[in-house]
Chains A and B, each alone.
Chain A
């Protein structure tokens, strides 16, 4: 019978494989359980009445943005703050997919590996989350946006902390409008436009074209050009808003001379443009605190010469998210290296919460320090000599570039502004998009200025 025993060896192997499989599943469960449990398909979190989120969410100063009291989820008592923070905090549903209450639903509900979502009512296992945003700055941004649709993002380009992230249209999570799905005023209200929407960047893209040119050859800084208000490229015209006359790069950027940058784009070529755009965050998404942003897109592989020229001034098929724009401004401010934003200051939890920062995007070298400094000087020059420093901010020294991006042939345009402050004690990078705002200078800058001043006051730099 020894023979029979010997021949049962393969059965033993099957059994061992079975146990190895069980161990493998357990390891997977340990590693991924938090991620799996927080999936939006989880009925415990999206359908249950009994497992309410019980964790509290506060802003950077401890102001309560959302908490649970007597089994009910309540938000800040100020309606403006509720509306301003909607896209960051979220509502009771999972409609806003990038909101903290959606992404961190399992932590807020007290998920932990030991008890899963089965913690009994008498045991508090939920996490409290402190955000980096400032509710007062949020409110100022929301008010400044008025009835415009759009987005504002301001973050600290040294620490990455997002001070302000506002998207409009918005709604009050405590009184969700009944006509939200039908009324066009609420179109896209579930989208956080700062991270999940992208628009033609218009003239703000000239910063990328300029860096591509400088990265290719630093002498491009001194390239000169006579603007007559338009130019012919590939048999079609590229128009300017005005006649800039004899300009070098610095003046061309200040005057936002389309002809200059269109010619420059064609001159440095597709490959350099494509490479520089991708170095500056295009065609990939950013990840931080478990949030994944929309991809900004730049693809000139099929563009003819005229289209290539338009791409260099942020038109053609180019699309960019407000957060990408703010991040690339952070790189210009920071000697060429981008700073990845963050939204969560800390998580306070019984079991030690997971910050979901393991797959955060790393800092990217977007350009050389020399290029960054040159672009920085040009943006400084632009504000100094064109927009006016005091038009921007009462307290801060701002470097910026506006954009007015055509979105249709009938001349409707989105208004942009992006930039950063030079202040050591208040180092902020920002971008503002105002849909159908028509003019970056007239509409976007005042909003940016208001928000930057609010941030300066809040951070004690006023």
Chain B
């Protein structure tokens, strides 16, 4: 009997990496396949010489500058002259502070002005006629979107989780992991069914990937401490609510702009309140304890901060004013440093750099910010030299094998190596007995118990989210979504890097969580919130569906139900 259990557990360990890989390949190829081709639906035709400019994006800048989407070499056109926007109810043109103004059919426009096929948009001395691409012959044959059936991706996630649970049950000889596992699988499918039915959502690639990571974390927790598994499960459910709320909230960028100041204040309040009433846990004063709950407001502040950074009233980020955002950023990083939460402070700083550069394109701001940060760090080290001691073991942890500073990293490396490619099995590891194994050291805990392939695949998912966020920058419905998605992805990747490389002694150990996987309720819930930004950049998220009568019972193999061409012009 014992023999059979051993073989079963081993077989499951061999199977897990393949299942995880299948989920990842399916999800990412579905994301790729579901991406819109960059082909023109409408074109702008120069009246004078009949040269046509394809209009490829949801927001297209018109101007003289080299980086304009529609570049006019006309000295009377400003560098950033106007923007041609696609919205659900048609196409609009907006003057972005041009000198000579924008005219539609000879009338000067002020603010956003709807345009239709045949309208003439005049910038400087250039007049452009809006035409359907199909009318001009410039339209290329359209590729069909190829996506994987979403239910199958989720089924593989379910199988992966189910096998993890089975392995935990075999290895532990009890059924502690069974209930959290089953509840999690129910949560997956409930979310799927509700999203489809109530919100008409058809794509679950990003959710599948996040479920893969969350599920790994939950079952890992379940095989060491059932209480943690339930906490983590609760946090995932809370995270899904936050995720859904966020997707609703950011659907209308104007709504976000309206709340812009309130969210800025909220960001600072979250951090400042922690500074005042926060409790210090393990050296960082970043916890607020309310009754039985302990939360890390800095995790939620990350979400609010991306809102603040990405939302701006400027159309297409043509204005370079970052003053308000720089103030919020400096105050946030300051609060975090005062809390001694250096890891999160660095994450905020890097997110700031990403947003600042994407909004302004201004290398000077970035260089200045980095200089300021370096000076800040040097000043802090000269005032409080003991802070450097916290990182004294970095780079030579083996000399600190039995003392604070290197103890955790040394165990992490030893047990990572002990796990091999397929791990020693859930609950069979020894890293679980080292302090903070389930959050700071979780990457190596995965290496030990699930094997380094699964651990690496989890890291690859996070990197993949970022690559996806970047791949859709020109396909999202607004630059607001593009910037939010890139900064959200950048934040997740950078945090993952601090976590993974901190514990493996490539970077100093700062004690941040591995997104979605680490134990920590606030972190888990906040990660789902951050994922919403990436999801919002996927234009299918807010797609309106064609009237049903056209293809009444078409199977959803290709998501041709999307409004692809369904733009009222």
Contacts and interface: CB of A to CB of B under 8 A. Distances in A.
B57 A1 contact: yes
A44 B417 contact: no
Interface stretch (B3-11, B25-33, B105-113, B269-277): B3-11
A11 B356 CA distance: 12
A122 B7 contact: yes
A446 B58 CA distance: 96
Contacts of A118: 10, 13, 418-420, 422-425, 428, 451
Contacts of B9: 120
A3 B504 contact: no
A105 to B, nearest CB: 11
B497 interface: yes
Given A8-B486, A10-B357, A11-B466, A122 B67 contact: no
A24 interface: yes
Contacts of B473: 1, 4-5, 8
Contacts of B489: 11, 15
Interface stretch (A35-43, A264-272, A313-321, A325-333): A35-43
B205 to A, nearest CB: 18
A116 B420 contact: yes
Nearest to A10: B357
Contacts, number: 184
B451 A116 contact: yes
Contacts of A2: 57, 67, 69, 474
Contacts of B482: 1, 4-5, 8
Nearest to A117: B418
B6 A113 contact: no
B361 interface: yes
B459 interface: yes
A391 B360 CA distance: 93
Interface residues of B, number: 72
Nearest to B497: A18
B414 A36 contact: yes
Interface in B396-432: 401-402, 410-411, 413-425, 428, 430
B414 A1 contact: no
Q: Which of A8, A18, A26 is packed against the most chain B CB atoms within 10 Å?
A: A8
Q: Which of A6, A41, A112 is packed against the most chain B CB atoms within 10 Å?
A: A41
A10 B6 contact: no
A3 B361 contact: yes
Given A1-B59, A42-B415, A115-B420, A25 B506 contact: yes
A302 interface: no
Interface in A19-63: 19, 21-22, 24-26, 28-29, 32-37, 39, 41-44, 47-48
Interface residues of A, number: 47
Contact of A37 (B401, B414, B456): B414
Given A11-B354, A42-B414, A6 B456 contact: no
B422 A21 contact: no
Contact of B456 (A15, A22, A117): A22
B353 interface: yes
Contacts of B494: 14, 18
Contacts of B479: 1, 4
Interface in A92-141: 111-118, 120-122
Interface string B460-495: 101100110110011010010011001101100110
A1 B504 contact: no
A300 B500 CA distance: 49
Interface string B324-361: 00000000000000000000000000100110011001
Contacts of A1: 57-61, 69, 316, 473-474, 476, 479, 482
B317 A4 contact: yes
Contacts of B130: none
A412 interface: no
Contact of B421 (A37, A114, A122): A114
Contacts of A5: 470, 473-474, 482
B417 A8 contact: no
Contact of A10 (B317, B353, B459): B353
A12 interface: yes
A7 interface: yes
A160 to B, nearest CB: 29
B102 interface: no
B508 to A, nearest CB: 14
A32 B6 contact: no
A2 B55 CA distance: 12
B418 A25 contact: no
Contacts of A122: 3, 6-7
5 contacts: A11-B490, A12-B470, A19-B460, A26-B456, A115-B421
Given A5-B482, A11-B489, A118-B424, 12 more contacts: A3-B68, A3-B69, A4-B358, A4-B482, A11-B466, A11-B490, A18-B459, A25-B506, A29-B416, A37-B418, A39-B410, A48-B430
